[in-house]
């Protein structure tokens, strides 16, 4: 039997939709907090295959989700390229020095994942060995544009003023950087598939800040180049946060599935893309801060709107927030398990 998540990505009809959550492993889980305290920090946990595998499996055991997403981070390959990455409490990711000019771009080391990030391959193998038969193993990477954003800004930056200055004043340097990142991501995705990833997600968290014109010029070609490395091997999902205005363009980037954020009407997206793409999403993660009954009500309403269309993967429109109660995630998953067309028809 095909795993439900993979069947949905192939747009096969299913009785109930598969479900997983972005950031399903993390600080909202007490068992994660215990491993993190033992490891001494987030990066130490990512670098230790046994611990990374353990936290990857925690939400699988607790909630029975259909996807296990490797515990890692999109920024680790930038560290492998030579950037000094740390995660500071309360501040998120910080780079000791940021990329400023062409010389900094040229100094980035090419990455051979097997040598620079062997722990990723090992963690995937450890997870694969423990995974229930219905659960699919997901690999992922950051899209070149989003990675460039962190590398040029030196960390988290909403207004992206340094990156935009580089893009518009030194487009050659930007394109050199994005090409280098695309080639790195391509290798990293292929490496994860070699080690057991059954589908991959490309996260372009910050591309939604751009106009369509800039998305087509500065993002899409590089995401496409990165995704090509695993074409035909595994289904590929493309996520753009706040990308409602450019869905037509994201739909053409080469992925088999679009991961939608919560601002998009998912039925409308099915009408536009449902005949050629699987669609993932898209409950607002903040709804999970509410009581379980409200999570159930909102999730059922979302599923009623999708109305059993083939190719739906139930997920949040972005990551689980750290203030979420595990009971809310439980209610979310259970709503998917108990949804039926007959009950939906009775509610209509
Ligand atoms: O469960 C999973 O989804 C798998 C693991 C995963 C993490 N980060 C773990 C993590 C994945 C897929 C990511 C992707 C990621 N990382 C993205 C793209 C998706 C998105 O969220 O838009 C981005 C932009 C990053 C960069 C990043 N990593 C930020 C901005 C932060 C700080 C935010 C925060 O919540 O503190 C991180 C840290 C991070 N990555 C944590 C986790 C569980 C929190 C680490 C901790 O302190 O324990």
- Per-residue three-class SS string for 78-128: HHHCCCCEEEECCCEEEECCCCCCHHHHHHCCCCCHHHHCHHHHHHHHHHH
The percent of residues above 70 in pLDDT, for the chain, comes to 100
Residue 1 is predicted with a pLDDT of 84
The percent of residues above 90 in pLDDT, for the chain, comes to 96
Residue 157 is predicted with a pLDDT of 80
- pLDDT of 89 strictly over 90: no
- pLDDT of 319 strictly over 90: yes
Q: 87: Cβ below 6 Å to ligand 1?
A: yes
Residue 348 is predicted with a pLDDT of 84
Which atom, in ligand 1's list, is nearest to the CA of 142? 18
Q: 73: Cβ below 6 Å to ligand 1?
A: yes
Marked catalytic residue, from 28, 32, 150, 215: 150
pTM above 0.95, yes or no: yes
Q: What mean pLDDT is predicted for residues 80-92? A: 92
- Catalytic, 11? Answer no
- Catalytic, 73? Answer yes
- pLDDT of 325 strictly over 90: yes
Residue 300 is predicted with a pLDDT of 98
Q: 203: Cβ below 6 Å to ligand 1?
A: yes
| Predicted confidence (pLDDT) per residue in 27-85, tens digit | 999 999 999 999 999 999 999 999 999 999 999 999 999 999 999 999 999 999 999 99
**How far is it, in rounded angstroms, from Cα 50 to Cα 64?**
20
Q: 93: Cβ below 6 Å to ligand 1?
A: yes
200 neighbors 254 (Cβ within 8 angstroms)? no
- pLDDT of 164 strictly over 90: yes
Residue 94 is predicted with a pLDDT of 96
Q: How far is the CA of 345 from the centre of ligand 1 (A)?
A: 38
Helices (H), 131-282: 144-153, 161-169, 171-194, 212-214, 220-227, 247-251, 266-273
44-53, 83-92, 109-118 — which is least confidently predicted? 83-92
- pLDDT of 90 strictly over 90: no
| Predicted confidence (pLDDT) per residue in 190-245, tens digit | 999 999 999 999 999 999 999 999 999 999 999 999 999 999 999 999 999 999 99
Q: What mean pLDDT is predicted for residues 274-283? A: 98
Mean pLDDT of the chain: 97
Residue 108 is predicted with a pLDDT of 98
3 state SS of 77? helix
Residue 158 is predicted with a pLDDT of 79
Residue with tokens 């939906």: 344
Residue 245 is predicted with a pLDDT of 97
- Catalytic, 84? Answer no
Q: How far is the CA of 23 from the centre of ligand 1 (A)?
A: 7
- Catalytic, 159? Answer no
**How far is it, in rounded angstroms, from Cα 279 to Cα 237?**
9
From the number of C-beta atoms within 10 Å of its C-beta (0-12, 13-18, 19+), residue 348 rates as exposed
- pLDDT of 142 strictly over 90: yes
Q: 26: Cβ below 6 Å to ligand 1?
A: yes
- Catalytic, 150? Answer yes
Marked catalytic residue, from 11, 28, 32, 36: 36
Per-residue confidence band for 278, with pLDDT thresholds at 50, 70 and 90: very high
């Amino acid at each position: 039997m095909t795993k439900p998540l993979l069947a949905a990505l192939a747009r096969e009809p299913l009785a109930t939709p598969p479900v997983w959550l972005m950031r399903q492993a993390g600080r909202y889980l007490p068992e994660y907090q215990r491993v993190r305290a033992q490891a001494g920090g987030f990066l130490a946990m990512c670098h230790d295959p046994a611990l990374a595998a353990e936290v990857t499996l925690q939400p699988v055991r607790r909630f029975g989700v259909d996807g296990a997403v490797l515990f890692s981070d999109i920024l680790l390959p930038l560290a492998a390229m030579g950037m000094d990455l740390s995660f500071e409490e309360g501040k998120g990711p910080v780079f000791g020095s940021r990329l400023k000019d062409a010389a900094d771009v040229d100094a980035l080391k090419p990455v051979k994942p097997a040598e620079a990030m062997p722990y990723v391959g090992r963690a995937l193998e450890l997870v694969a060995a423990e995974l229930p038969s219905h659960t699919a193993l997901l690999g992922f990477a950051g899209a070149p544009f989003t990675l460039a954003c962190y590398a040029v800004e030196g960390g988290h930056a909403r207004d992206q003023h340094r990156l935009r200055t580089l893009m518009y004043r030194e487009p050659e340097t930007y394109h050199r950087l994005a090409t280098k990142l695309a080639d790195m991501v391509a290798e990293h995705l292929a490496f994860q598939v070699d080690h057991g990833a059954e589908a991959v997600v490309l996260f372009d968290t910050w591309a939604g800040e751009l106009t369509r014109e800039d998305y087509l010029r500065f993002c899409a070609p590089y995401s496409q180049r990165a995704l090509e490395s695993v074409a035909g091997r595994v289904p590929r999902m493309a996520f753009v946060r706040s990308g409602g205005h450019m869905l037509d363009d994201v739909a053409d980037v080469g992925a088999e599935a679009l991961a939608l954020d919560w601002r998009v009407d998912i039925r409308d997206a099915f009408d536009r893309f449902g005949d050629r793409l699987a669609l993932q999403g898209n409950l607002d993660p903040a709804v999970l801060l509410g009581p379980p009954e409200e999570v159930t009500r909102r999730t059922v309403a979302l599923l009623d709107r999708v109305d059993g269309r083939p190719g739906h993967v139930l997920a949040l429109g972005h990551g689980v927030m750290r203030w979420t109660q595990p009971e809310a995630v439980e209610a979310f998953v259970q709503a998917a398990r108990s949804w039926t067309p007959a009950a939906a028809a009775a509610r209509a």
